Each structure stands twice: as structure tokens, then as C-alpha cells.
Amino acid sequence: MSQSVRNAAAKATERSSDWLIVFSDVVALMLAFFVMMYATQKVETGGWQAMVQSLSQSLRIDRLQATHASAARNVEQRDLPPAIDLTYLQTLIEGMRESDPALTEIVMTREDDRLIIAIPGDLLFDAGRADPTPQAEPRIRVFAELFRNLSNRIDVQGHADSRPLSGQVFESNRELSLARAETVAEMLRGAGYRRRVGAFGMGDAFYADLAGIASPETRDRFARRVDIIVRPEAEWRR
């Protein structure tokens, strides 16, 4: 191929690619035009927000955000103190007992999962009754004030001896023990303790545990006791 033919072919190829340069310039100008147009427009965000919300719900995308507690829309908010150590609580009550006559006759038993505060029934009730005596109120108030700032779970168990009831208000020892437990729980609330208290009637189910007490009179006295049981964990959640 001669030199003249090669030169002619090169010029033809160069002319055939000139349109790409022009096309690129046109595209660049159009993009610049649309950017300027968009910049001068007021963006309506309402439609976008609706679309985002719809997509979030359909795709199950959760948006995390900090919220403030509001009584109108939140479950009851409760700021509970930590549960107190039972060994420390027992030591505290022992110290109080030295100066408070209302606590002199209680018996405390420390077990792995509870502190049992046993109050002889005759310190709180008349025989066969579940109505508190006048002397019961100051005894229970001491514990209500002590427990007021605690979050430990607290139960009340009523107990009875094995002697059947004879024609009195209650048909069985279990009913009597339950009524006494409920009375003590209500007295705790009435004296200022506002958290939940479990009340249980045990009847004479644990009477055999007192067999080691030699005196029948003392044994029956403690058989008719009311136990306030403090547990190491926090109270029941509502």
C-alpha cells in the first residue's frame, strides 16, 4: 500500500471518531443543566419520609432511637434498689433487737436461700383469731420501716399446731394460718411497705419440725407462729 493511501485511511479514521467528542460534550452539558435545575428546586420531604416508613415496615427494618420515659405511653417505671445481703440484714435486725422491746421474742433462722423471722402467734393474735391485737401493730411496723427501702422478695407464712379447731371462726388450721398470713401482709402494707408480699397458709405442715423442743407449751407456741421470709433475690416483677 502506498504512502498516500495510508494517509487517506488515517484521516478517514480520525474523522469517524470526531462525533464521540461532540457527544461527550453534549452529555456533560446536559448533566450540568439537570444539576442546576435540581439545586434550584424545593425538595418535598414528605413523600420521601412516607416511602422510607413504608419500606421499613415491609422490610422489617428497625430504626433505633433514644426515648424518654413517659407515664402516658410506658409501662410502670420502677427504680428498685438492689436486694440486700441477708447476712447483713440479720446482723442489722440483731442490733435493733437489743434496743427494741417489740423484737425481743422473735427468732431468726438463716438458711441458704432465705432469712426466716419467726414471730410467735400470741404476740400478734388472740387464740383462734386472725384479728391483730393492739400489740401487733408496733411489732409489724418495725419490719415495714426496715423493709421499705429494700427490693428483696418477701413472703409471709402462717403456721398452726396439730390440734383441730373446735367450732370457731375457721374450719381448719390451714384456713386460720392463711388468714393470719394475709393479715400480717396487709399490716406491712398499711405500715408503709408498698411492694408485693406473698401470703401462704401452711397449717400444721411443719409441726413435726419442732419435735426437738422439749416443752410442749413452747412447742405449740412456736407452732402457731407467723414467719416473715426474706429472700436474696429481688421481688416479684409485676
Q: What pTM was computed for the model?
A: 0.63
**pLDDT on residue 230:** 95
| Residue 119, Cβ density class (10 Å: 0-12 exposed, 13-18 middle, ≥19 buried) | buried
Torsion of CA 141, 197, 222, 203, to 10 degrees: 140
Q: Which three cell numbers stand for residue 98?
A: 437489743
CA–CA dist 111, 161 (Å, integer): 23
* pLDDT tens, the chain, 238 aa long: 555 545 555 555 555 566 667 777 777 788 777 777 766 665 555 554 555 555 445 444 343 333 334 444 343 434 445 678 899 999 999 988 888 887 888 999 999 889 999 999 999 999 889 999 999 999 999 999 999 888 899 999 999 988 887 766 788 899 999 999 999 999 999 999 988 999 999 998 988 888 777 788 888 888 999 999 999 887 654 4
Q: Which of 185, 219, 221 is nearest to 200 (CA)?
A: 185
Determine the pLDDT at residue 183: 97
Q: What is the pLDDT of residue 176?
A: 93
Provide the pLDDT for residue 233: 83
- At residue 100, the pLDDT reads 84
Domain with residues 86-234, CATH architecture: 2-Layer Sandwich (3.30)
Structure confidence at residue 202 (pLDDT): 93
Task: Note the pLDDT of residue 69.
Answer: 40
In angstroms, the CA 227 to CA 109 distance is: 10
pLDDT of res. 76:
40
Indicate the residue type of 52. V
pLDDT per residue as tens digits for the range 122-149: 999 998 899 999 999 999 999 999 998 8
> Does residue 157 contact residue 224 with C-beta atoms inside 8 Å?
no
- SS3 per residue for the chain: CCHHHHHHHHHHHHHHCHHHHHHHHHHHHHHHHHHHHHHCCCCCHHHHHHHHHHHHHHHCCCCCCCCCCCCCCCCCCCCCCCCCCHHHHHHHHHHHHCCCHHHCCCEEEEECCEEEEEECHHHCECCCCCCECCCHHHHHHHHHHHHCCCCEEEEEEECCCCCCCCCCCCCCHHHHHHHHHHHHHHHHHHCCCCCCEEEEECCCCCHHHHCCCCCHHHHHHHHCCEEEEEEEEECCCC
Q: Which residues are bridge partners to 116 per DSSP?
A: 109, 229
Q: In the chain, what is the greatest distance between 2 CA atoms, to the nearest angstrom?
A: 139
pLDDT at residue 137, rounded to an integer: 92
How far apart CA 176 and CA 209 sit, in angstroms, is: 19
Where do the structural domains in the chain lie, given as residue ranges? 3-59, 86-234
